[in-house]
């Protein structure tokens, strides 16, 4: 059982912004009320995210901070070295969540995962987390890890609802965290989402976030400007059973993040 307590919504930092933009965005998100911030080695913005946390008036102890080890750094000696480098860039002594970003490239379950256990034992990481896994790989990881899997992060939105992985998360008591919960904007013109949005006098983006929260999924949208507060408020939107049935009845499927290394692309 995981003892990781996550807010209903987090702040994602995967995107094209550069340098101080991320620092300003993180400060704005924390000021607006976010308390869960997600970054990664692969995003190349850990230093800027850490600066935003340092500059914010929010106490570090009140923030859940997550980062991820990129696939090329998943050999055990590289896990340790680059995790320590991530902490240095973030300007923190430890992070609440450390993910295997993709089970690819240098990932070897038997070699990689014990290195994550060691980091947790030494207090550099509070919770071991996984990202972009499939059920068989989750089974393998859970057999090897001494640490509980606290969260599994995948692309998830109304056009990629991830029913199997949601059920797996419920069965094994870990959080399902949704990156690209708005489908990178490529799903927001769907007529069903538009219909529900009109009913609630809301945007389709807000409907996507509310849908995730209603299903116990933790979305981590990236946003700036007015969207920072709008997304946070959307987590409080009440969708009724009819709304959820309409959205869950969408038959189209669209995966926005689909690299060759995704385990769903295995032959």
> Which residues are marked as active site?
43
CA distances from 217 to 2, 52, 167, 195, 229 (A): 15, 26, 11, 22, 19
User: Contact at 8 Å (CB) between 128 and 68?
Assistant: no
Nearest CA-CA partner of 89 in 46, 52, 53: 46
In terms of C-beta distances under 8 Å and separation of at least 24 residues, what long-range contacts does 188-194 make, across chains too? 190/158, 190/159, 190/250, 190/252, 192/158, 192/246, 192/247, 192/249, 192/250, 193/158, 193/247
Kindly state the tokens that stand for 186. Answer: 């490529």
Nearest CA-CA partner of 152 in 97, 199, 194: 97
Report the chain's terminal Cα–Cα distance, integer Å.
33
Nearest CA-CA partner of 155 in 137, 178, 133: 178
């Amino acid at each position: 059982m995981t003892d990781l307590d996550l807010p209903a919504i987090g702040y994602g930092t995967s995107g094209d912004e550069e340098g101080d933009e991320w620092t300003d965005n993180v400060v704005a998100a924390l000021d607006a009320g976010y308390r869960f911030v997600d970054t990664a080695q692969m995003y190349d913005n850990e230093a800027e995210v850490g600066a935003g946390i340092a500059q914010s008036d929010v106490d570090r102890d009140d923030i859940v901070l997550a980062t991820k080890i990129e696939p090329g750094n998943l050999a055990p000696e590289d896990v340790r070295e680059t995790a320590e480098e991530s902490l240095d860039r973030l300007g923190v002594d430890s992070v609440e969540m450390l993910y295997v970003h993709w089970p690819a490239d240098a990932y070897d379950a038997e070699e990689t995962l014990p290195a994550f256990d060691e980091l947790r034992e030494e207090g550099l990481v509070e919770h071991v987390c996984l990202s972009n896994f499939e059920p068989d790989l989750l089974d393998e990881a859970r057999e090897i890890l001494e640490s509980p899997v606290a969260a599994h992060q995948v692309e998830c939105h109304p056009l990629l609802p991830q029913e199997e992985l949601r059920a797996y998360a419920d069965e094994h008591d870990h959080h399902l965290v949704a990156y690209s919960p708005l489908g990178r904007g490529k799903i927001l013109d769907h007529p069903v989402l538009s219909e529900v949005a009109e009913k609630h006098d809301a945007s389709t983006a807000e409907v996507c976030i509310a849908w995730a929260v209603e299903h116990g999924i933790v979305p981590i949208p990236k946003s700036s400007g007015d969207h920072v507060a709008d997304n946070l408020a959307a987590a409080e939107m009440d969708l009724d059973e009819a709304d959820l049935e309409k959205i869950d009845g969408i038959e189209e499927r669209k995966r926005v993040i689909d690299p060759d290394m995704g385990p769903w692309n295995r032959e």
